[in-house]
Each structure stands twice: as C-alpha cells, then as structure tokens.
C-alpha cells in the first residue's frame, strides 16, 4: 500500500506545482527548462550549464520576501523581469557558447548561464 501511495502523492504534488506551466504548449522543439529558486541568499542553482545554440527556458521562482530578488536582470541581453513572490517567471534564451550573467535589480545577487 505505502509503496504505491507515496509515489502517487509525489506525482500529485509535482503536478500541482507545475499546474499553469503544463497548460502552456511547449511547441514542436520542446526545449529544456531549468528551474531556479531565488531565495534570501541568492540563486539556486547559481550556475546553470546548458548546451549552446539550443533554446532553454529558465524558470525563476522567488521563494523569499527577504533579500532583494524582486527583479532578475540579464544585462547583456537587455532583459529585466519582475519576480512576484512564489510565481514562476520564464526567461527563454538561446545562448551562444560562453557565459551569460544574471543578477538581481541591484546587481547584488549573481548567477550565470554557461553554454557549451
Ligand atoms: Cu539586490
């Protein structure tokens, strides 16, 4: 009984969390998605390694009202997004080989996308 119940609960929980995202069509190319939590201490994970020249969607979710993660900024791409608390915000990019930095609105929290 337990062996069946626990995976079902986990599945339900992940479906509930994924909720809105599941409804959106991902398109023919699919594309990878990387979840990034924005907490008091910064981004988790702070560095994401992805294949170059392939679309990737970073899904930022700010999980803390402490700290200064209320915006995420990709200076080199001219992208600035508000991050409402506990609401996933998607940033899709197709990186060339190299490193793309992202920061909070005040350039204090730091993260990077490494494409190779
Ligand atoms: Cu800041």
CA distances from 12 to 7, 18, 26, 80, 88 (A): 9, 10, 21, 33, 18
Largest CA distance in the chain: 53
* Residues less than 5 Å from ion ligand 1, measured at CB: 68, 104, 106, 108
Domain 31-115 of CATH type 2.60.40.420: yes
Per-chain mean pLDDT for the chain: 83
Q: Does the pLDDT of residue 36 top 80, yes or no?
A: yes
Task: Determine the average pLDDT of the residues in 46-59.
Answer: 97
CA of 46 to the centre of ligand 1 (A): 14
Read off φ and ψ for residue 15, nearest 5 degrees: -65, -40
Q: Which helix (H) or strand (E) holds 103?
A: strand 98-104
Average pLDDT of the residues in 43-63 = 97
The pair of three-digit structure tokens given for residue 83, joined into one six-digit string: 């991050």
Residue 23 CA, ligand 1 centroid: distance in Å: 32
**47 C-alpha to center of ligand 1: Å?**
17
| The two structure tokens encoding residue 28 | 């023919």
pLDDT tens digits, one per residue of 57-85: 999 999 999 888 999 999 999 999 999 99
Q: What is residue 31's predicted lDDT score, i.e. its pLDDT? A: 83
Give the pLDDT confidence score for residue 68 in this predicted structure.
82
Say what the pTM is: 0.73
Q: Assess whether pLDDT exceeds 60 at residue 88.
A: yes
Please compute the mean of the pLDDT values over residues 18-38 and round it to a whole number.
64
CA–centroid distance, 18 to ligand 1, in Å, is 27
């Amino acid at each position: 009984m337990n062996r069946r119940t626990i995976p079902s609960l986990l599945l339900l929980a992940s479906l509930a969390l994924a909720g809105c995202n599941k409804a959106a069509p991902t398109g023919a190319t699919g594309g990878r998605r990387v979840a990034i939590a924005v907490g008091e201490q910064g981004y988790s994970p702070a560095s994401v390694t992805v294949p170059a020249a392939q679309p990737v969607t970073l899904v930022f979710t700010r999980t803390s009202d402490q700290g200064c993660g209320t915006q995420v900024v990709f200076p080199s791409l001219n992208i600035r997004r508000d991050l409402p608390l506990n609401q996933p915000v998607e940033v899709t990019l197709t990186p060339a080989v190299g490193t793309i930095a992202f920061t909070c609105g005040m350039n204090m929290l730091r993260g990077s996308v490494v494409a190779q």
